[in-house]
Amino acid sequence: MVEIHPDRLREIMRGGVGKRILIVGDLMLDRYLWGNVSRISPEAPVPIINIEDQDEEVRFGGAANVANNVIGLRGEPVLVGTVGEDSWGEIFRQRLSQKNLVPDGLIADPSRPTTLKTRIIGNNQHIARVDREKILPIDASVQSRIFRFIEGMISDIDAIILEDYNKGVLVPELVRNIIDLANRRQKIVTVDPKFDNFFEFRNVALFKPNKKETEEALAMRLDSDESIERAGNMLLDRLNAGAVLITLGSRGMALFRKNKPAAFEGTRAREVADVSGAGDTVIATVSFALAAGATMKEAVTLANYAAGVVCEEVGAVPIEHEQLMEAVLFRSRP
């Protein structure tokens, strides 16, 4: 993409510290239960897993995992979305308070539970996943409460991330209202889309789908640089986006801007162990860097380094400020 001089890198990273980034989307909790398989159940041919209290962990998931990355970069995320009127919603609020983040953007929706993904792991193997969620568009009253909160925050934030997981928060009318408000107030908007509302995110600074999402939305195979470039330019025109960034998994990413040549770059990972969570890292890093005053190419370059770091780890691991600095300073050397 672009070489970033160490002095410029330090300027961008310092400039991003404390920037307030509003993250709007589908909030989730990821729950992990680790145990030992002792025997097969006499009731059904399934393993019995013994789990101790200390073998349970709850982490932020979905749009909330983007917040983990913003925290790691030393920005200040403000999460906006829905939780249920249940114990898990209260746990979500407590977790935010523990991270010294404001919970005011959590809108309680009595019609749906807090989204919870429980992963059961026995003898270090993933045995099952249990999802507790309701996938329906939020109603007009919840939309209104979310938008009023964003209106009240807009003067105090530096960028907005719209993080869609197709769970029902980012409905078309709310999306259009948020983008219109942000553009009128000259705030950066970046988008990590999913299939359902893919073409609703018009007039944003950056639209970041992955390869699979792009293929599904455009009904075309992205099996060559030429097809990827054609898809990127189609999205630019159709969405009137400032830039389109298509992430390509272990192949890296491709950046498209109007009247400029496509920019392809391979992954910066030394060895790809796990790409889960890398998309969250990319959108968080791009938004952090743009809020800090980076150019689009600088922001995308930093995001590519950040994705390379987290792809070397197993599981959804957020990027850290010092990790990214080190990766750019040392991996960019010949």
Contact 235, 207 (CB under 8 A): yes
Active site residue 158: no
- Determine the pLDDT at residue 223: 92
Domains in the chain (CATH in brackets) are: 6-28+63-114+135-331 (3.40.1190.20)
- Determine the pLDDT at residue 56: 86
pTM: 0.92
- Determine the pLDDT at residue 273: 40
Unique residue bearing structure tokens 């994705």: 307
Contact 62, 115 (CB under 8 A): yes
Other CB atoms within a 10 A radius of the CB of residue 80 amount to 26
Q: 42: which residues sit within 8 A by CB, 6+ positions away?
A: none
The residue annotated as part of the active site, out of 26, 30, 109, 280, is: 280
Let me know if 119 is exposed, middle or buried by CB neighbors in 10 A (0-12, 13-18, 19+). middle
Instruction: Summarize the chain as % helix, strand, coil (round to 5).
Output: 40, 25, 35
- Determine the pLDDT at residue 274: 42
Q: Which residues of the chain have pLDDT under 50?
A: 270, 273-274, 334
